Amino acid sequence: MTIESKEKGNKKYYEEIMYISSNYYIFKKRPKTKVHSLINVYRLDIILLFIMFIILLFIPIISYLSAIPFTMLFIYAYLLVEAKYRLREYLKSGDSIIKITEDGIENVCDNKLSIKLPWEAIEYIIINKYSISVLPKNFSSVFIFAEINTKDEIYKSLKKYKKLDLLIDNSDRY
């Protein structure tokens, strides 16, 4: 079955897949984990580190420890800028086509790049609020993502190939 995914310009979709990609091992251990915006997570971390820096700065006995949150503050600021840059670049990318066959799942981007995961290499297929994520069994493989509006077609394909055991629906958690 061939499914067209029209994700171009969908900011919420790309924020969700960035979070999933960055936290692969969390989703591998606990696939029912709720997805957040990676950019909002970095912003929250920066605020908390700034508060910690200010508090440690004014405690005379341990003020020398304020260098640790100050350094972490700059690291998270860099990660936030990088995440925003990646999001802008993702928003420029084109739509993709998902092909589900008896061999596995294939993602064709802009009719140029093709990524295929055989069924044996897939750990989970997780349905979230804005995306459907195909997570590989090991990190050396690639991720395949689709927009949530393709949920029914993907479900029909998984049912057809008897692969519903890979499916985890987190859409009710939002």
For residue 120, pLDDT over 80 is answered with yes
What CATH class has 2-8+95-173?
A: mainly beta
Q: Check: pTM over 0.85? Answer yes or no.
A: no
For residue 47, pLDDT over 90 is answered with yes
d(CA 105, CA 115): 8
Domain spans of the chain, in order of start: 2-8+95-173
Identify the three-state secondary structure at position 42.
helix
With pLDDT > 70 as the criterion, what percentage of the chain qualifies?
Answer: 93
Residue range 133-173, pLDDT digits in tens: 889 888 777 888 888 888 888 888 888 988 888 888 888 77
Residues 152, 13, 138, CA angle at the centre, nearest 5°? 80
Name the least confident of 24-28, 44-48, 106-110.
106-110
Encoded tokens for 27: 């989703």
What confidence tier does 5 reach under pLDDT thresholds 50, 70, 90?
A: low
Q: Which of 120, 127, 118, 102 is nearest to 13 (CA)?
A: 127
With pLDDT > 90 as the criterion, what percentage of the chain qualifies?
Answer: 7
Of the ranges 9-23, 87-101, 105-119, which is most confident?
Answer: 9-23
- Please give the pLDDT value at position 88: 80
Tell me which of 53 and 94 has the higher pLDDT: 53
